[in-house]
Amino acid sequence: MATSSNSSDYFSSQGSEFLEALAKTKLPGDIGYDGDASEDLSKHGEVREVSPPPPNQKALLVSSKRKLDDSKDSHDEQIYGAARFGDFGQYMKRKRAKLQIQNKDIARNGGIFHGISIYINGYTNPSIQVLRELIVRHGGVFQPYLDKKTIVTHIVTNSLTPAKIAEWKHMKVVRPEWLVDSVDRDVLLPWSDYIWKPNNRSESTQGARSTQSTLPPVPRPQQPAKSSPSISASTSNRATNLTVPSYAAHDSNPLAQRAMHSSDWRAAHTSVAPDFIDGYYKNSRLHHLSSWKAELKELLREAQEKAESMPEGFTPGDEMIGQGRAMPPPDEQRVIMHCDFDCFFVAAGLTKRPDLKGKPVVVCHSQDNQGGLPARDFGIKNGMSLQQARKLYTKKFSLEFYTVLMMHADDLQAVSVDEALIEVTWAVSRLREKIALGDPSAPQDLAKELAEQIRTQVRKSTGCEISIGISHNISLARLATRRAKPAKSYHLVPGEVHAFLGPLDIANLHGFGRAAKQKALDKWGTSNLGDLEEKSKATLGAVLGKATGETLYNLIRGIDERKLENDKERKSVSCDINYGIRFQKNEEVQTFLRQMAKEVAKRLDAIQRRGRSINVEIEPPKFLGHGVCDVFNKQMSLSGPGGQPAATSDEIIIADHAWRLLKSLKFDPKELRGLGIQIQKLENTSNSVANSSGQGRLPFLKGIVEHDPSTNPSTGNSEPSSMDVDIQEIEIPASGVDQSVYDALPQDIKQELETEYKRRSVSPFVPIVATGPVVPYQPAPNRSTRPTIFPFPRKMPAPGGPNVRRITAQLDPAHSRSSLSRESLSTTDLRSFPASLHGRYQRVSWLKLDIDPEVFAALPRNVQREQLTAARMLKTMGYIPLGEEQPVVLRPAEPDPGEVTYLPPPKARFVQPPTLKQAGPTPGEKLYFIETDDVQKVIEQWVTRFKLYAPNKQDIAFFAKWLVKSVDQAQAGDEGLFRAVAVMKWWLVLLKRWWGRCEFDHEEDEFEEDEQVKIGKAWWAAFRDVKGQMDNVARQRFGGKLSLR
DNA sequence: ATCCTCCCCTAC
DNA sequence: TAAGGTAGGGGAGGAT
Ligand SMILES: [Mg+2]
């Protein structure tokens, strides 16, 4: 395939570049690499199973699992409830605006920019770095990006696209001079004097104090007259914090954007924009992650297939011949390594972020010119091919990494472009045989020895560090990597497993995340592995599901029998887009859906598969979205021209089916926030009879009957007050209650509180004095580090067999028939590349990669994260630190807890913090809400005071109870409901302000999170928990979630 | 019991 | 100039 805009060719297994590259690669310090022992494998035929025909299935099925209450007695409720919900939404909008005003309370004393949160858009003069420095130095908050709902008071820019003009027309958009001049005079000048205006040559209305003559030319807004962006000119100077709503904060995709702002334009370009998806993917790092992973796995799978089909006894480069893989090594005798590239994207220089410029030294510190990749020289060579160079560069990193791993691995599982699992049982065994024989001074831990060899080798060839976690199973190896980072290896030996696992959290386990943690917390009040170890398998299973519970049960005990996987066939191909979806009309949706169908079809063709089943998915609004979402997902069989079930990869057929499904899902195009098409039940193209070409639009088979969801009323739970169950176990704070909170409570809860406190003989209104500083947990000084003596019998060959060694060997193009497309190799001039790259890669063509690897740097959050990581790494490794170049986060200064690498012991996760009701100085500004005044104050105090602590569980329960009760007792439109929602909104605002960086998990957590992040996440977890509880009730009462927008 | 669908969850 | 994509494991609960 010749896509020019996505990543499908990165590791194309069709082309052999990757394989050739692997085989051609000779590295300094190679050990035991034998690339010459391979033989012609061209006779190896494809032996593939033909999938059996699928069982018949209904053509169109509707999920009947919906739990919403649509039984007849709630019919009115549905209709009118929905209407009221609309009003409710309006109410929320107004309230939101008010809430934003309240945010000024957050502002405290400080520099002239104190209380101001600034996002810098696009290229500015002075540069973004300079401006950032100004902002930070003078007490402001620099927002490196507009995250969803990030609170930003002002936007600074020199230029805006029309889309952004429209998007931000209600925001304070100013020119950089506002900052500069303010600093010059050491006073915050009125921003309204610096309002940014479209800088159109013909109209040329400059701001009040333009210095723009010195600016570089800026792109001219395309429709200055049309949307006539009236930038808000409120006279208020600071403190109108604007909360940028989630998806609305971003530009809509082109289709939608045009639809919204220019119907002419839309008429001309809209429906056709066939390249929208490509364009989007090109810049989506998640897409790249996903597709690279898929390609790497496919590559490995094919290689594995070939390797295993080799004649028995033919194992190039091995003295170990004919060993089957029948006998798995006994428990604790395997050696698994989890190899993880440190800061891959930083390391590969995949960022043009100025912040990092001039600091490629961060990771690429190769001392000699031997093997390292001098990123700086490399990248700066010539501007024009900079991007190309970077692509090559990126590719090389990954290739070098995998190549080295393959040299040592018995077996390999690709995890992602920068991460892999290898089994080295046999390699270690051989190492011991070779080295340890009668040498008393020989190293004891040969697994670690090998790991260090690998690390050294990767360092030589890439100049970068990797971390390696070693243990006897996958789970433990992954965990060991935590300890290994940065730039080390760590062997978690059986004797230490228990002590190692004890302090960890359930979410630290691979495969367990937020939800599992929350369930554990809800059910058992702890998510600590040491605590959970006491739970029986049945107990775990009851909460998490049978299989999951058992898995957890085992993982807690360090047991994990899973083998590395690299031979599994892909089961589905899909295309989802959930970003910036804004449609006005069905027709637009349909057009978009066609594009998605085309994309899916393209991918199917690329891997030569066809599917027999299609699934279409509507994304409900994300977190904190609103409204009822009737059905999210539907599937049906794909059928060919005649209507018979048939595997297909035809985009028309897929689009048609998809549209059918989508129509049968009730949706309002305006409400749509995401779309997805999945194709399942894949078959090999060669086995598929269906003819995919030239079918035209197919009328659907008459037999297909659309299932009307409304005829299938599920017997929803119409018990309105099931929450009573939740309430009965609620605990009240031990410490006292703020009078105002108390006053705001519903009467019955007041009563309950009173009773309880009476019972405890404690006044409810006891202020609590804050406890001392957080004392980080110090682990016992030294665990006994008994070096592991690898217990594998010496003469016994590894039962698993060195598969990857075989793979590697047989990939040698000198002996492989797969040396296709030599002539298609890129002609890109590589002469300007560093000498160390010459020869080895010159003939290799990965330059047809179509993706700009810099997109990896484009997600500021991640870059920011890597910056932090890199800084820490430097610190740990003793290299030049980044100085004050810490990423700026929305968080007030606070004592640095330091490098806390140990988790707190069980049950002492956080020092018992002060509770939420302690009295204290209230913010000077009168809160806006009269009715919710006191509660909000309390929440603010609560959150504010807890910057160093996780929220108290009892406090959470306390609020949850009150909030849930408010929702449950409310009529829609009722004041109690509004108040509850207002409180949640306020809480949300506060959390975003202080813990915005913790709201989402970041996939590139290279190192352990610091305590601050953990605390922040605890806050978010609490918030989501409470929101979830409220939504559950709201769903029953009103048929939808609460919107906090 | 077992399979299937519609999800949810997790990972990178 | 931003760009929350995707594959796969698994559970709940209905269908068979
Ligand atoms: Mg996890």
pLDDT in tens, A409-457: 999 999 998 999 999 999 999 888 887 666 777 778 999 999 999 999 9
CA atoms within 13 A on the CB side of A46: 7
In this prediction, residues A996-1005 reach a mean pLDDT of 66
Report how far apart, in Å, the C-alpha atoms of A73 and of each of A76, A394, A660, A714 are: 7, 61, 31, 13
pLDDT for the residue numbered A120: 80
Residues flanking ion ligand 1, Cβ below 5 Å: A 507, 512-513
pLDDT for the residue numbered A675: 94
Ramachandran class of A349: left when φ > 0, alpha when ψ lies in -120 to 50, beta otherwise = left
- CA-to-C1' distance for A281 and C2, Å? 12
Which stretch of A214-218, A314-318, A551-555, A737-741 has the lowest confidence by average pLDDT? Answer: A214-218
Strand C, nucleotides covered by protein (CB < 7 Å): 1-15
- CA-to-C1' distance for A707 and B4, Å? 17
Instruction: Name the residue closest to B6, CA to C1'.
Output: A63
Supply the DSSP symbol for A411.
Answer: E
pLDDT for the residue numbered A131: 81
From the CA of A388, how far away is ligand 1's center (Å)?
35
CB atoms within 10 A of CB A829: 10
Asked whether the predicted pLDDT for residue A150 surpasses 80, the reply is no
Residue A195, helix vs strand vs coil: strand
Structure tokens at A624: 């904190």
- Nucleotide nearest A631, CA–C1', reads B6
Helix axes A933-945, A975-995, angle to 10 degrees: 20
Rounded Cα distance between A630 and A87, Å, is: 20
Rounded Cα distance between A389 and A379, Å, is: 7
Asked whether the predicted pLDDT for residue A68 surpasses 60, the reply is no
In this prediction, residues A559-588 reach a mean pLDDT of 92
Asked whether the predicted pLDDT for residue A614 surpasses 80, the reply is yes
Provide the sign of the torsion angle of the four alpha carbons A810, A816, A818, A821, taken in this order. Answer: positive
- CA-to-C1' distance for A349 and C3, Å? 20
pLDDT tens readout for residues A78-98: 222 222 222 223 223 322 332
Helix axes A128-137, A177-185, angle to 10 degrees: 40
Q: Is the pTM of this model over 0.95?
A: no
- CA-to-C1' distance for A546 and C10, Å? 9
Report how far apart, in Å, the C-alpha atoms of A810 and of each of A43, A61, A303, A407 are: 13, 47, 9, 12
Instruction: Name the residue closest to B8, CA to C1'.
Output: A515
A980 or A604: whose pLDDT is higher? A604
Residue A119, helix vs strand vs coil: strand
The listed range with the strongest mean pLDDT (A209-213, A415-419, A467-471, A615-619) is A467-471
Rounded Cα distance between A556 and A562, Å, is: 15
- CA-to-C1' distance for A65 and C13, Å? 7
pLDDT for the residue numbered A966: 81
In this prediction, residues A942-969 reach a mean pLDDT of 80
**Residue type at position A629:** C
Strand order through the sheet with A609-618: A60-61, A633-637, A609-618, A675-684, A572-577
pLDDT tens readout for residues A321-370: 333 344 556 778 999 999 999 888 776 665 544 344 333 333 333 333 33
From the CA of A528, how far away is ligand 1's center (Å)?
13
Helix (H) or strand (E) holding A419: strand A419-423
Angle at A519 between CA A518 and CA A523, to 5 degrees: 120
From the CA of A912, how far away is ligand 1's center (Å)?
26
From the CA of A345, how far away is ligand 1's center (Å)?
22
| Unique residue bearing structure tokens 């030589």 | A460
Where helices occur in A545-650 by DSSP H, the ranges are: 546-556, 586-606
- Nucleotide nearest A159, CA–C1', reads C1
A159 or A351: whose pLDDT is higher? A159
- CA-to-C1' distance for A597 and B6, Å? 21
- CA-to-C1' distance for A444 and B9, Å? 41
pLDDT tens readout for residues A195-239: 888 753 322 222 333 333 322 332 333 333 333 333 333 323 333
- Nucleotide nearest A515, CA–C1', reads B9
Cis amide leading into A54 (omega within 30): no
Structure tokens at A657: 């089916």
pLDDT for the residue numbered A352: 44
pLDDT band at A1040 (very low <50, low <70, confident <90, very high): low
Q: Which residues pair with A680 in a beta bridge?
A: A572, A613
- Nucleotide nearest A340, CA–C1', reads B12
pLDDT for the residue numbered A146: 58
pLDDT band at A135 (very low <50, low <70, confident <90, very high): confident
A401 or A52: whose pLDDT is higher? A401
pLDDT for the residue numbered A653: 96
pLDDT for the residue numbered A1007: 57
In this prediction, residues A302-320 reach a mean pLDDT of 58
Instruction: Name the residue closest to C5, CA to C1'.
Output: A287
A16 or A931: whose pLDDT is higher? A931
pLDDT for the residue numbered A109: 52
Rounded Cα distance between A92 and A911, Å, is: 37
pLDDT band at A273 (very low <50, low <70, confident <90, very high): low
Rounded Cα distance between A657 and A81, Å, is: 33
Asked whether the predicted pLDDT for residue A720 surpasses 70, the reply is no
pLDDT for the residue numbered A428: 92
Residues with CB under 7 A from strand B: A 54-55, 57-58, 61-63, 65-66, 286, 289-290, 293, 415-416, 418-419, 478, 507, 509-517, 613, 615, 631-635, 1001, 1003
Supply the DSSP symbol for A24.
Answer: H
**Residue type at position A196:** W
Instruction: Name the residue closest to C11, CA to C1'.
Output: A545
Which stretch of A24-28, A384-388, A723-727 has the lowest confidence by average pLDDT? Answer: A723-727
The listed range with the strongest mean pLDDT (A155-169, A233-247, A578-592) is A578-592
Q: Which residues contact A20 (CB under 8 A, 6 or more apart)?
A: A811, A813, A819, A843, A844
Helix (H) or strand (E) holding A613: strand A609-618
- Nucleotide nearest A596, CA–C1', reads C5
Asked whether the predicted pLDDT for residue A37 surpasses 90, the reply is no
- Nucleotide nearest A516, CA–C1', reads B9
From the CA of A620, how far away is ligand 1's center (Å)?
25
Return the percentage of chain A with pLDDT > 90, whole number: 21
- CA-to-C1' distance for A563 and B9, Å? 22
Helix (H) or strand (E) holding A940: helix A933-945
pLDDT for the residue numbered A349: 62
From the CA of A540, how far away is ligand 1's center (Å)?
17
Asked whether the predicted pLDDT for residue A602 surpasses 80, the reply is yes
Asked whether the predicted pLDDT for residue A291 surpasses 80, the reply is yes
The listed range with the strongest mean pLDDT (A135-149, A359-373, A402-416, A696-710) is A402-416
From the CA of A250, how far away is ligand 1's center (Å)?
29
In this prediction, residues A474-484 reach a mean pLDDT of 96
pLDDT for the residue numbered A259: 43
Report how far apart, in Å, the C-alpha atoms of A314 and of each of A321, A805, A807, A819 are: 7, 12, 12, 21
- CA-to-C1' distance for A354 and C8, Å? 38
Angle at A429 between CA A426 and CA A433, to 5 degrees: 135
From the CA of A341, how far away is ligand 1's center (Å)?
18
Residues in chain A: 1045
pLDDT for the residue numbered A390: 60
pLDDT tens readout for residues A775-792: 222 233 333 322 222 222
pLDDT for the residue numbered A681: 95
Return the percentage of chain A with pLDDT > 70, whole number: 47
- CA-to-C1' distance for A288 and C3, Å? 12
pLDDT for the residue numbered A529: 97
> Smallest Cα–Cα separation from A468: which of A530, A423, A509?
A423
- CA-to-C1' distance for A298 and B4, Å? 28
> Smallest Cα–Cα separation from A424: which of A564, A559, A304, A293?
A564
> Smallest Cα–Cα separation from A857: which of A355, A485, A382?
A355
pLDDT tens readout for residues A666-704: 888 888 889 999 999 999 987 655 443 333 222 222 222
pLDDT for the residue numbered A857: 35
Rounded Cα distance between A243 and A992, Å, is: 9
Instruction: Name the residue closest to B10, CA to C1'.
Output: A511
Rounded Cα distance between A520 and A544, Å, is: 9
From the CA of A519, how far away is ligand 1's center (Å)?
14
Asked whether the predicted pLDDT for residue A55 surpasses 50, the reply is no
Report how far apart, in Å, the C-alpha atoms of A1030 and of each of A83, A321, A984, A1035 are: 20, 63, 10, 8
Which stretch of A46-55, A178-187, A610-619, A652-661 has the lowest confidence by average pLDDT? Answer: A46-55
Cβ A489 vs Cβ A471: under 8 Å: no
pLDDT band at A806 (very low <50, low <70, confident <90, very high): very low
A721 or A93: whose pLDDT is higher? A93
Asked whether the predicted pLDDT for residue A371 surpasses 80, the reply is no
In this prediction, residues A565-581 reach a mean pLDDT of 92
From the CA of A360, how far away is ligand 1's center (Å)?
30
Mean per-residue pLDDT over chain A, rounded:
60
